[in-house]
Structure 1
Amino acid sequence: MLLLDLEEVAPEDRVEAFHHALTDTSVPNDVRHEAPEAGIRARFEAWRLGPLDLFEARSTGFEVHRGDRHVRRHRDRPVVSVSLQTQGVHRAENAGERYTLGPDDIAVFHELAPRRYGWSGEGASRSVTIDMQHLGLPVGTVVRASVRLRSSPLYDLALAHLRTLWQAPAVLAADPGATALATATTELVRALLTSAAHEETDRRVRSALDECLVSRITAYVRRHLTEPDLSPDRIAREHAISRRHMYAVLGRAGISLEQWVIGERLEAACRLLVSPRHTGLPVSAVAARCGFSSPSHFTRRFRAAYGVTPREWRRHHVHQSAAVPTPPTEPTSPRERH
């Protein structure tokens, strides 16, 4: 969604329009433009990815300063911003340190901490803002981590993931999996910050790394659920870990990989069997689309899980939807059978 294009604003109103747009989409700041007399250009766009806000800014040089008085005016639900610098050399001051940021750097700022940030000449950045309550980390942890992010072994992974969000933000925002993607992004950022703020041997780091890895594995499996060759070895290889380590991490999260994958595939099959768009799809085709190697194996698993065959499940729900609505006598969601 386009928030601001200063080309559509009268030159004498551009400073005020820039400030209002930045304050509305960010947090209270003092804004200083590098060369306002030469003309200010800016374009701001935003997308909503589940509970996350994605914000892209392109503009002439400026600097924002957030001091103690701005911190005291924070919103009811403060945020943490995580940004990438896509054009120009950016300058920042945070946690008492001054540094520059380039295209391979991640910048992190907490709304409840003072900071400076900006760039000279033409520049651009892309940021994700995460609700502080969703992130679940103290201000001190975020600030401490922000100046030593590269010390974390998760840095390159987080950088690649954040870049992926910006390949097609509008498409991702409209995808049914947007909320799950937002959750995985939040957990990855939490793991990165926890890792950078503490020693690797700290139990908090291990816990954060585990949570991040579990989210990545489950998100990967859901993306490739319909592929019959989705094996444990392939999943472990895609995440650069051993099969043994993968099983250990999932076990600590209470997940049995094979059973979880079967359960996810069965739920996908349940939805497909009763979908009005797929009423003519043979059960064997449903099995194949949901990643089962054979119709007989699919039927055995389905009956074991739900007590009926796939055909009986479909027939029951088709008849139920055609009848006058009454309180259901059987569960309408596979999970309710457990």
Structure 2
Amino acid sequence: MDIIPPKCFGEPATIAAAEDSLQQYTWNFFTGAIDSITTNIAGGEFENFVYWNSEDTLHRISLIATNHWGCKSPITIDTVYEPAVPTFDATVIFDTCMLSKGGIIFGDTLGSNSFFWLDTTVGPAAGTPITTVYDIPVGEYEIATSYLTANTTHYAYYISTFGTQYCLDTLLYEIEPIGMIDAIIEVSAATDMVSLVAPEATVIFLNNSIYDNVGKRCEWHFGDETTEKNCDPQVEHIYTEGGCYEPYLIVMNRDLPECRDTAYLETCIPVDNASEIDVPNVFSPNGDGINDFFQVKAQTLKTFSGIIVNRYGRTVFEWTNWENYEDGCDGKLNGGTDASVGVYYYVIKAVGLDDIEYDLHGPLHLMRE
């Protein structure tokens, strides 16, 4: 048999019996599919155009020919060699940070290949010849290519039969994202969030950001108008004043600053002021709304207890709630009668959230005028 291999991958091979005048030809193309048949005047199907849909490039075929008298030829087995699609010299540039920075660069692999852009939404106009295309976003892109068949000995046949010696294929290239920065912060478990007291409120922050193997730069903003530039996995900051602070971290690509991400905490950082206690030495529970209660002015206390004793050392009042003004002494004895005007003594013990201990005592003047 005579075989003219396919001009290009996926196109039909021309397979013909060497003797084309017989009445019967028994072909076996196995996995091949017949595109068209040529028949002689005796009705014999002596020539076939056959193609294959598999990825294989080697295809076995066989033929038994039968003459007018019913005599059969020995079986002839042969192989069709289908040219593979060339591996083109193409460099794919991934899209950094999904900022439409992707691209494709083609080299001249065969010395005869051409490439044509097909996408209608991005890049050059569809059908434009290209060797490079830049600034395209993440996605899959079809590109048409044209190149001379590798079966150079059959150029004349291909031109006369198919009208061209070139192959046309559609290539698919994918632009993937790269350098996707994900800023992530949290407060270390070593930080006691309920006991942060200025001016030594130390908070340990954890930088758990994902950098995707790009050069990076990090900027900490602690919410108190101070900043720090480092990408250490752990950063310590001291708040010197009370408040509820909202820190955040900016992580950016060192070579592409517009590629960045910012991480925030879900809640603010509560910092109390340093503990204080101010104890008055006089009060006048006469109902005029001025100094009617003996109560301390304090902040940031962890524990508090206070007692008032008379000059004989007998306790006449005790309290533990320092935050409510009216929970202080209203000038009445435990039985509900008015205490006498005169000098009493207070004894106050307290501990601040900053662990400062207070042991305060002194005279207290009760007046009713």
* TM-score higher than 0.5: no
Higher strand content, 1 or 2 = 2
Q: Which has the higher contact order (CA 8 A, sep 6+)?
A: 1
TM-score, structure 2 length as denominator? 0.18
Which structure has the highest helix share of the two?
Answer: 1
* Larger of the two Rg values belongs to structure: 2
